[in-house]
């Protein structure tokens, strides 16, 4: 196993501006075919652990590791001895002596990932926790870069629950100059104050703006309309009548008509007729499936950066 120091990605805030921009730029280079095919993960072993369902993220990181020359070990939700009482500390200590990178989707908070990351031999990548989905945000930034040629100055309307995708997107977009992020979230389901406060610090430095409202009145003109499904993976709504609260936040043709030149994004999976109508998701403004493909290209950039082999 190599002695190269690994770098962890558990939150967007684990990246400084230079590293954030490198990953996004590298993801766009992979997507365009401009990146050299030098197999930067050759001789490395990547572990993939998912305790929740996944189509895009698991496939993206598995395919990315293999295409970059790495070897893959996969774990299901019941495979590790943590299920029989072994501590997270001991698990991390053992895995770090055998793996170079661990990509993990856990069932709860990021605390377990932070424990596993208490060493420098094995990189730990957050493939989604309850609080944040950083690799989704990086894929989204890659998508924006490919479509618009930039992230700076874009106007983005996010509609729906302030979930882990929204939290990561808020942290990421607030780092880019001139970005205007408008969050429209149902009452009681907004992006948490912890993430808004951190984004506010970034925005003050970058010149971005981040605002949150809990209604759909007076929608601003934007370049991007973004939503996520109402039933976030692994979560349960605390109120039984939550659908009535969410109903006004569906993205339909009327919402897109407020910004007729905007593109539509969705992190998928989508439930047509709930958070978005089929007319929008399958319509000409939608780049949701290109966005899904860019998760794979972005995953290649993330793995290269985390493995310490960024060129």
Q: Do 17 and 107 lie in a common domain?
A: yes
Asked if residue 215 has pLDDT above 50, the reply is: yes
Q: Do 285 and 165 lie in a common domain?
A: yes
Q: Do 122 and 185 lie in a common domain?
A: no
Asked if residue 142 belongs to a domain, the reply is: yes
Q: Do 123 and 145 lie in a common domain?
A: no
Contact 223, 148 (CB under 8 A): yes
pLDDT tens-place string over residues 32-63: 999 887 899 999 999 999 999 999 999 999 99
Q: 4 falls in which pLDDT band (50, 70, 90)?
A: low
- pLDDT for 295: 98
- pLDDT for 310: 74
Q: Do 288 and 181 lie in a common domain?
A: yes
Q: Do 87 and 220 lie in a common domain?
A: no
Contact 181, 226 (CB under 8 A): no
Axis crossing angle, helix 134-148 with helix 56-67, rounded to the nearest 10: 70
- pLDDT for 52: 92
Asked if residue 154 belongs to a domain, the reply is: yes
Q: Do 163 and 245 lie in a common domain?
A: yes
pLDDT tens-place string over residues 127-147: 999 999 999 999 999 999 999
Asked if residue 5 belongs to a domain, the reply is: no
Q: Do 119 and 142 lie in a common domain?
A: no
Asked if residue 232 has pLDDT above 80, the reply is: no
DSSP result, 264-305: EEE-S---BTTTB-HHHHTSTTB-HHHHHHHHHHHHHHHHHH
Domain total of the chain = 2
- pLDDT for 37: 76
Asked if residue 111 has pLDDT above 90, the reply is: yes
Distance CA 257, CA 259 (A): 5
Mean pLDDT in residue range 189-193: 97
Distance CA 8, CA 120 (A): 9
Q: Say which residue, 60 or 235, is predicted with more confidence.
A: 60
Q: Do 120 and 201 lie in a common domain?
A: no
- pLDDT for 309: 81
pLDDT tens-place string over residues 193-208: 999 999 999 999 999 9
Mean pLDDT in residue range 272-296: 98
3-class DSSP state of 14: helix
Helix runs in 98-230, H state only: 111-116, 134-148, 164-173, 193-206
Q: Do 110 and 247 lie in a common domain?
A: no
Distance CA 205, CA 213 (A): 23
Asked if residue 2 has pLDDT above 70, the reply is: no
Domain that holds residue 232: 136-292
């Amino acid at each position: 196993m190599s002695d190269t120091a690994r770098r962890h990605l558990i939150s967007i805030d684990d990246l400084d501006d230079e590293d954030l921009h490198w990953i996004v730029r590298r993801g766009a280079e992979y997507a365009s075919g401009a990146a050299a095919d030098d197999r930067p993960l050759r001789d490395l072993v990547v572990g993939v652990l998912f305790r929740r369902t996944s189509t895009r993220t698991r496939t993206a990181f598995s395919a990315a590791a293999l295409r970059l020359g790495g070897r893959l070990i996969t774990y299901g939700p019941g495979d590790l001895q943590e299920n029989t009482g072994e501590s997270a500390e001991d698990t991390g200590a053992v895995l770090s002596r055998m793996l170079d990178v661990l990509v993990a989707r856990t069932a709860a908070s990021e605390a377990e990932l932070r424990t596993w990351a208490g060493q420098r031999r094995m990189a730990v990548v957050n493939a989604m926790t309850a609080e944040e989905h950083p690799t989704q945000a990086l894929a989204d930034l890659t998508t924006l870069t490919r479509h618009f040629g930039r992230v700076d100055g874009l106007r983005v309307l996010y509609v729906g629950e302030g979930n882990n995708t929204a939290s990561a997107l808020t942290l990421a977009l607030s780092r880019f100059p001139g970005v205007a992020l408008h969050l429209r979230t149902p009452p009681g389901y907004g992006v948490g104050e912890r993430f808004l406060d951190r984004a506010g610090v970034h925005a003050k430095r970058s010149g971005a703006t981040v605002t949150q409202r809990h209604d759909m009145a007076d929608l601003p003109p934007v370049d991007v309309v973004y939503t996520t499904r109402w039933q976030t993976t692994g979560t349960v709504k605390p109120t039984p009548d939550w659908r009535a609260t969410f109903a006004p936040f569906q993205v339909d043709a009327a919402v897109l008509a407020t910004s007729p030149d905007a593109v539509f994004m969705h992190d998928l999976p989508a439930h047509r007729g709930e958070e978005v109508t089929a007319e929008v998701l399958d319509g000409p403004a939608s780049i949701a499936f290109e966005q899904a493909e860019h998760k794979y290209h972005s995953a290649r950039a993330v793995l290269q950066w985390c493995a310490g082999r960024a060129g």
